[in-house]
């Protein structure tokens, strides 16, 4: 017996609805049906009034930069927000770049990069911009400053020079050399064959060795007490400075001369005495010429030491501000190390460059003197 066919769909009973649902059917939340036109309410935006004020703020600057052509051959990066091109005055907000008198045109951009931040530099970005502007106009030029070597000291950094200090140093060194060289060489055991050693010569030798370790400011106090207060010599003069520096370098020259004279073989002096020469002739004709390279080396090293001294000269009054170039050994003068000390104490920034240049000149003289001492020793020294 064949079963009856299975129905494909089932009849569903109608849902029970309330009277409220029959009068107002409920819509689904996902319904996309358009409400009737009577229910739509359109909101009209208020009409914008035309204004004559120019656009301001970021939009204005963005449009101005987009319209400006890119400079050819330079960095294609645009300046950041609010950053002005180098060499231009500051533009306020809302200002039109086209109406600026110094606005940068195409091809006038210049980008400078500094590794040191602005707060760690003595020169700000605005000052560098001014300098670049002056260079572009040809108002600033760099060259060798000959006035630095041909003018004396001045309160104005642009007019200050080292001529007076350089002449004063040369005059002081001349007095030092004339005073200490004969005394140093004469005390350097030249009298070893003329006068016998005794207790007084031993005391002098001990004091000479001890004077080489005395601080330089002590010699300044000695010169102030003896040369200025006792003898009444002119203050801040080259002759007083030369005497004080001679006392300072005298132990060095004596020790160097003694070592050079001892290096000469005694047989040379004995041979001169054997052929009938006196003690003075044996010393000045044979011993001294052979020891002269070592004596000159010690003398030049001592003079280089005296050239760089400052403390003794400060105590005898050579720290005064002197504009004129000295004309005699008794006129007021200053020295190159003292001039460097005076310039380094001034608050103006321009004197810092003057101080550096004067230091280079002093170092050049010191290197030249030490090089000359080495050359003389290599050229004339003899090994026995």
Beta-carbon contacts of 178 under 8 Å, excluding residues fewer than 6 positions away, are 242
Q: How far apart are CA 307 and CA 174, in angstroms?
A: 11
Report angle CA 256, 257, 262 to the nearest 5 degrees. 100
pLDDT at 131 over 70: yes
Q: List pLDDT tens digits, range 241-267.
A: 999 999 999 988 988 888 888 888 888
Map residue 92 onto helix, strand or coil.
Answer: coil
Residue 384's pLDDT is 66
pLDDT at 16 over 60: no
Residue 68's pLDDT is 55
Across 308-312, average pLDDT: 90
Domains in the chain: ranges and CATH? 163-380 (1.10.3720.10)
More confident residue, 191 or 181: 181
Alpha helices in 198-237 (DSSP H): 199-211, 216-223
Q: List pLDDT tens digits, range 88-108.
A: 444 444 444 444 445 455 555
pLDDT at 296 over 70: yes
Q: Predicted confidence band at 70 (pLDDT cuts at 50, 70, 90)?
A: low
Contact between residue 64 and residue 81 where contact means Cβ atoms under 8 Å apart: no
pLDDT at 11 over 70: no
For residue 237, list its beta bridge partners. Answer: 332
Q: List pLDDT tens digits, range 357-366.
A: 999 999 999 9
Quick one: which of 152, 114, 110 has its CA closest to 135? 110
- Please give the mean pLDDT across all residues of the chain: 76
How is 297-328 classified by DSSP, letter by letter? Answer: HHHHHHHHHHHT--HHHHHTTTTS---SPP-S
The 10 Å Cβ neighbour count of residue 168 is 28
Residue 89's pLDDT is 47
Q: How far apart are CA 344 and CA 338, in angstroms?
A: 10
More confident residue, 34 or 156: 156
Quick one: which of 104, 98, 106 has its CA closest to 63? 98
Helix axes 238-262, 199-211, angle to 10 degrees: 120
Q: List pLDDT tens digits, range 23-54.
A: 455 554 444 555 555 554 555 555 555 554 55
Q: Is this prediction's pTM over 0.75?
A: no
- What kind and span of H or E run contains 168? helix 163-187
Contacts 24+ apart (CB under 8 A), 358-362: 358/162, 358/165, 361/162, 361/166, 361/336, 362/307, 362/308, 362/336, 362/337
Residue 335's pLDDT is 92
Show the tokens assigned to 346: 């001034």
Number of H helices, E strands in the chain: 14, 0
Show the tokens assigned to 210: 């001890």
Q: Count of alpha carbons within 13 Å of 368, Cβ hemisphere only?
A: 7
Report angle CA 239, 376, 305 to the nearest 5 degrees. 35
């Amino acid at each position: 017996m064949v079963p009856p066919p299975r129905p494909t769909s089932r009849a569903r009973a109608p849902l029970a609805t309330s009277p409220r649902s029959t009068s107002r059917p409920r819509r689904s939340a996902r319904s996309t049906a358009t409400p009737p036109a009577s229910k739509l309410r359109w909101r009209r935006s208020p009409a914008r009034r035309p204004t004559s004020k120019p656009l301001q703020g970021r939009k204005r600057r963005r449009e101005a930069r987009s319209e400006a052509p890119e400079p050819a051959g330079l960095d294609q990066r645009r300046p950041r927000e609010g950053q002005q091109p180098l060499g231009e005055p500051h533009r306020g907000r809302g200002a039109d770049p086209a109406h600026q008198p110094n606005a940068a045109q195409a091809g006038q951009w210049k980008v400078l990069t500094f590794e040191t931040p602005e707060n760690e530099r003595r020169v700000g970005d605005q000052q560098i911009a001014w300098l670049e502007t002056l260079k572009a106009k040809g108002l600033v030029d760099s060259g060798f400053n000959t006035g630095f070597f041909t003018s004396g000291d001045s309160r104005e950094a642009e007019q200050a020079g080292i001529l007076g200090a350089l002449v004063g140093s040369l005059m002081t060194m001349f007095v030092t050399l004339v005073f200490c060289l004969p005394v140093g060489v004469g005390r350097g055991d030249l009298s070893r064959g003329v006068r016998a050693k005794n207790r007084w010569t031993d005391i002098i030798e001990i004091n000479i060795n001890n004077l080489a370790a005395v601080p330089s400011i002590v010699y300044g106090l000695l010169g102030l007490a003896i040369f200025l207060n006792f003898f009444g010599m002119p203050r801040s003069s080259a002759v007083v400075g030369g005497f004080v520096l001679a006392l300072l370098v005298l132990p060095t020259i004596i020790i160097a001369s003694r070592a050079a004279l001892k290096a000469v073989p005694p047989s040379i002096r004995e041979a001169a005495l054997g052929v009938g020469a006196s003690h003075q002739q044996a010393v000045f004709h044979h011993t001294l010429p052979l020891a002269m390279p070592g004596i000159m080396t010690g003398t030049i090293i001592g003079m280089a030491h005296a050239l760089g001294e400052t403390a003794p000269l400060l105590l005898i009054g050579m720290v005064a501000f002197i504009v004129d170039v000295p004309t005699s050994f008794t006129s007021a003068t200053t020295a190159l190390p003292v001039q460097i000390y005076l310039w380094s104490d001034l608050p103006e920034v321009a004197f810092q460059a003057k101080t550096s240049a004067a230091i280079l000149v002093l170092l050049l003289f010191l290197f030249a003197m030490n090089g000359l001492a080495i050359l003389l020793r290599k050229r004339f020294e003899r090994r026995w």
